[in-house]
A and B are shown apart, each in its own frame.
Chain A
Amino acid sequence: MTTTNATLVVEHLRTQFATRAGVAKAVDDVSFTVGRGEIMGLVGESGSGKSITGYSIMGLVDPPGRVVDGRILLTSRDGVTRDLRALTPAQMRDVRGNRIAMIFQDPMMTLNPVLRIDTQMIEAITAHERIGRAAARERARDALARVGIPSPDERLRAYPHQFSGGMRQRVAIAIALLNKPDLIIADEPTTALDVTIQGQILYEMQTLCRESGTALIWITHDLSVVAGLADTLRVMYAGRIVEAGDVRQLLEHPAHPYTHGLIASAPSRNPRGTPLRQIPGMTPSLLNLPAGCAFRERCPHAAEDCRTAPALTQMADGRRLRCFHPMPLHEESAA
Chain B
Amino acid sequence: MNAVDHVAAIPAQAASTTPLLELRAVSKRFVKPIDAAARIANLFGARAHAEVVHAVDRVDLSIRAGEVVGLVGESGCGKSTLGRMAVGLHTLTEGERLWHGVDLDRLQPDQRRAKQLAIQMIFQDPYASLNPRLRVLDIIGEAPVVHGMVPRAGQRAYVEELLSRVGMDPTVLRRFPHQFSGGQRARIGIARALAVKPEFLVCDESVAALDVSIQAQVLNLFMRLREELNLTYLFISHDLGVVKHISDRVMIMYLGRVVESAPTGDVFSAPNHPYTQALLAEAPKLEAGKKTYVAIRGEIPSPLDPPSGCHFHPRCPHAMPRCRTEQPILREIAPGRLSACHLNDMG
Q: Which residues of A contact B (CB under 8 A)?
A: 45-46, 148, 164-167, 194-200, 202-204, 206, 221-225, 227-229, 247-252, 261-263, 265-270, 272-273, 275-279, 282-283
B295 near A282 with CB under 8 A, answer: no
The CA-CA distance from A275 to B281 in the complex, in Å, is: 26
**B296 CB within 8 Å of chain A:** yes
**B217 CB within 8 Å of chain A:** yes
With known contacts A203-B294, A270-B245, A265–B216 Cβ distance under 8 A = yes
A196 near B279 with CB under 8 A, answer: yes
With known contacts A267-B241, A272-B244, A200–B295 Cβ distance under 8 A = yes
B282 near A227 with CB under 8 A, answer: no
User: Quick one: closest A residue to B182, CB to CB?
Assistant: A46
With known contacts A45-B213, A227-B287, A261-B213, A167–B299 Cβ distance under 8 A = yes
Nearest CB of A to B274, in Å: 12
A199 near B212 with CB under 8 A, answer: no
With known contacts A252-B288, A283-B211, A277–B216 Cβ distance under 8 A = yes
User: Quick one: closest A residue to B214, CB to CB?
Assistant: A282
A228 near B285 with CB under 8 A, answer: yes
The CA-CA distance from A248 to B328 in the complex, in Å, is: 43
Name 12 A/B residue pairs within 8 A (Cβ), A-sorted.
Answer: A194-B300, A195-B238, A199-B284, A222-B284, A227-B284, A227-B286, A228-B293, A247-B288, A266-B286, A268-B285, A272-B245, A278-B220
B211 near A45 with CB under 8 A, answer: yes
**B118 CB within 8 Å of chain A:** no
The CA-CA distance from A282 to B169 in the complex, in Å, is: 14
Residues of A within 8 A of B184 (CB): 282
Nearest CB of A to B185, in Å: 12
Most B CB contacts (10 A, CB to CB) among A167, A195, A198, A227 go to A195
B286 near A199 with CB under 8 A, answer: no
**B223 CB within 8 Å of chain A:** yes
Residues of B within 8 A of A272 (CB): 244-245, 264-265
**Complex partner residue of A221 from B212, B224, B283, CB under 8 angstroms:** B212
Residues of A within 8 A of B283 (CB): 195
With known contacts A228-B284, A251-B288, A267-B245, A199–B213 Cβ distance under 8 A = no
User: Quick one: closest B residue to A190, CB to CB?
Assistant: B284
Residues of A within 8 A of B281 (CB): 199
The CA-CA distance from A2 to B188 in the complex, in Å, is: 49
Q: Which 6 A-B pairs have the closest CB atoms?
A: A228-B291, A203-B293, A199-B282, A267-B245, A265-B216, A248-B288
B181 near A262 with CB under 8 A, answer: no
Q: How many residues of B contact A (CB 8 A)?
A: 46
The CA-CA distance from A272 to B217 in the complex, in Å, is: 15
Q: What's the count of A-B pairs with C-beta under 8 Å?
A: 145
A195 near B286 with CB under 8 A, answer: no
The CA-CA distance from A121 to B215 in the complex, in Å, is: 39
Give the dominant DSSP class at A's interface. Answer: helix
The CA-CA distance from A282 to B242 in the complex, in Å, is: 20
With known contacts A221-B212, A228-B284, A228-B287, A194–B238 Cβ distance under 8 A = yes
User: Quick one: closest B residue to A204, CB to CB?
Assistant: B295
B220 near A203 with CB under 8 A, answer: no
The CA-CA distance from A164 to B120 in the complex, in Å, is: 32
User: Quick one: closest B residue to A226, CB to CB?
Assistant: B284
B211 near A196 with CB under 8 A, answer: no
With known contacts A206-B293, A228-B285, A273-B245, A196–B212 Cβ distance under 8 A = no
**B219 CB within 8 Å of chain A:** yes
B213 near A279 with CB under 8 A, answer: yes
With known contacts A194-B74, A272-B244, A283-B211, A224–B183 Cβ distance under 8 A = no
The CA-CA distance from A45 to B210 in the complex, in Å, is: 9
**B343 CB within 8 Å of chain A:** no
B291 near A196 with CB under 8 A, answer: no
Instruction: A228-B284, A248-B289, A267-B245 given; name 13 further pairs at CB < 8 Å.
Output: A45-B211, A164-B299, A194-B75, A204-B295, A221-B212, A224-B286, A227-B288, A227-B291, A265-B215, A266-B212, A272-B245, A276-B220, A277-B216
Residues of B within 8 A of A222 (CB): 212, 284
The CA-CA distance from A265 to B241 in the complex, in Å, is: 11
Binary A-proximity of B217-231 (CB < 8 A = 1, otherwise 0): 101100110000000
Nearest CB of A to B142, in Å: 27
**B290 CB within 8 Å of chain A:** yes
User: Quick one: closest B residue to A266, CB to CB?
Assistant: B286
Nearest CB of A to B221, in Å: 10
User: Quick one: closest B residue to A39, CB to CB?
Assistant: B290
The CA-CA distance from A194 to B224 in the complex, in Å, is: 29
B213 near A198 with CB under 8 A, answer: no
Binary A-proximity of B249-290 (CB < 8 A = 1, otherwise 0): 000000000000000110000000000001101111111111
**B10 CB within 8 Å of chain A:** no
Nearest CB of B to A289, in Å: 15
The CA-CA distance from A248 to B216 in the complex, in Å, is: 23
B293 near A202 with CB under 8 A, answer: yes
Nearest CB of A to B102, in Å: 31
Most B CB contacts (10 A, CB to CB) among A223, A247, A270, A282 go to A282
The CA-CA distance from A46 to B300 in the complex, in Å, is: 30
A199 near B300 with CB under 8 A, answer: no
